[in-house]
């Protein structure tokens, strides 16, 4: 693994080298779903996805994350049902094919299904973002290993029982990392996500954010996704479309505690937050 100046290493995603510890990177979200919790689902509108991707790139996104299944589909929301494999493929593959021709930044596919991951890579994606950390479909590990692409592995579980949420999540991410390496994924291609909002109560989420610096023991880059999430709504008593300030607070404090990538919907505003936070935490950029 190439070592960066601060000793934390680098990862190449789609031909772009990410230098960990140098600055915070922005992952912009494109939801190709009709039922996104954040209210920004585009369903199958590929033209809208291209226009949004171009905007996200222009506004400072370093990665564009494309998903075809809302978390509503597998988290017991009233009236929700799982998204079929065929439906997910029909949502993400045409969008990724179009985006790969339109933008210069790397494209990530948000999926936990091996067949979707494989098709997305063939369409032009260069990063797999697995919200189940290889637990739902272990084939994702083989797809990533064979393609030599990086993965985001998130902590997730079907219950909210912990002895100590921070210690338990760190231990689980250790196990996930070991399994990924065993399956042939290069250590430098693993990015970890503690899974804010997944298998956790609001108090669990706040405890993880409060102790995010403890996750440095994992020695892998850390992605944090708090954007517009229900914990913010719970604390502030605000609907999804009024959570931008709460998101900004979580982003800034996550950077102070060691986040390397933040996954966000509101790219313009969060780029400003990350640049200001980086200037305080890491020093102003030289360019």
Look up 72 and say whether it is catalytic.
no
Q: How many CB atoms lie within 10 A of CB 146?
A: 12
CA distance 204 to 77: 20
At 181, list the tokens.
Answer: 């390496």
Residue from 135, 228, 229, 243 carrying the catalytic annotation: 229
Q: Are strands 10-13 and 16-19 parallel, antiparallel or unpaired?
A: antiparallel
CA distance 43 to 139: 26
Residue from 263, 272, 275, 282 carrying the catalytic annotation: 263
Look up 229 and say whether it is catalytic.
yes
Residues 225/254, Cβ–Cβ less than 8 Å: no
Residue 14's region, left for phi above 0, alpha for psi from -120 to 50, else beta, is left
Which of 29, 25, 38 is CA-nearest to residue 243?
A: 38
Residues 122/94, Cβ–Cβ less than 8 Å: no
At 267, list the tokens.
Answer: 């790219």
Provide the annotated active-site residues.
Answer: 229, 263
């Amino acid at each position: 693994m190439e070592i960066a100046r601060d000793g934390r290493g680098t990862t190449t995603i789609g031909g772009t080298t990410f230098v960990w510890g140098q600055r915070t990177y922005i992952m912009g979200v494109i939801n190709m779903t009709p039922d996104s919790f954040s209210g920004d689902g585009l369903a199958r509108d590929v033209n809208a996805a291209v226009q949004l991707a171009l905007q996200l790139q222009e506004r400072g996104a370093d990665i564009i994350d494309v998903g075809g299944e809302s978390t509503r589909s597998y988290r017991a929301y009233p009236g929700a049902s799982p998204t079929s494999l065929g439906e997910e493929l029909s949502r993400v593959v045409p969008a990724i094919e179009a985006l790969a021709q339109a933008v210069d930044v790397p494209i990530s596919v948000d999926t936990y299904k091996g067949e979707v991951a494989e098709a997305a890579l063939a369409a032009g994606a260069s990063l797999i973002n697995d919200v189940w950390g290889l637990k739902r479909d272990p084939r994702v590990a083989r797809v990533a290993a064979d393609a030599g692409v990086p993965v985001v592995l998130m902590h997730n579980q079907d219950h909210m029982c912990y002895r100590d949420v921070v210690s338990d999540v760190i231990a689980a991410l250790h196990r996930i990392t070991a399994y990924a390496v065993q399956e042939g994924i290069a250590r430098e291609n693993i990015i970890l996500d503690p899974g804010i909002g997944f298998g956790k109560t609001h108090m669990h989420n706040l405890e993880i954010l409060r102790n995010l610096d403890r996750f440095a023991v994992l020695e892998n880059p850390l992605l944090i996704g708090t954007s517009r999430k229900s914990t913010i709504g719970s604390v502030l008593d605000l609907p999804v479309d009024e959570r931008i300030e709460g998101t900004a607070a979580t982003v800034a404090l996550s950077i102070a505690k060691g986040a390397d990538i933040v996954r966000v919907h509101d790219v313009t505003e969060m780029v400003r937050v990350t640049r200001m936070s980086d200037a305080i935490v890491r020093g102003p950029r030289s360019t």
